[in-house]
Amino acid sequence: MNYKTDPNYIEGNWAGKDIAKKIEMTAYKNLETAIDVKQKLIDNFEKEFGYSKKQDSFDRNYTFNLGILDVLKEKFNEREGL
């Protein structure tokens, strides 16, 4: 299964768009901090639980946070012109 078609990833993607719009009002304060925090969380899921983007099924928290992280990275790259 492609993780990007997982309903929790899609929901996380939607949440990420909302977070990115209001980033200054969040605990993160900026995209860089949000990306760093979410990347560490994903890294921890992968290290501690063996999760991977190439699995047949996914933990809902893992894919939800992947969705958020992907949007935050996308918004950062758009802002930086990458």
Domain that holds residue 29: 3-80
Residues 39-64 pLDDT 10s: 999 999 999 999 999 998 999 999 99
Confidence (pLDDT) at 61: 97
Q: Look at the chain and report how many structural domains it folds into.
A: 1
pLDDT at 11 > cutoff 80: yes
Confidence (pLDDT) at 82: 75
8 A C-beta contact, residue 54 and residue 4: no
How much is the pTM? 0.93
61, burial (CB in 10 Å: exposed 0-12, middle 13-18, buried 19+): middle
Retrieve residue 4's tokens.
């990007």
8 A C-beta contact, residue 23 and residue 34: yes
C-alpha to C-alpha distances, 69 to 42, 53, 78, nearest whole angstrom: 9, 13, 14
Task: Over range 63-68, report the average pLDDT.
Answer: 98
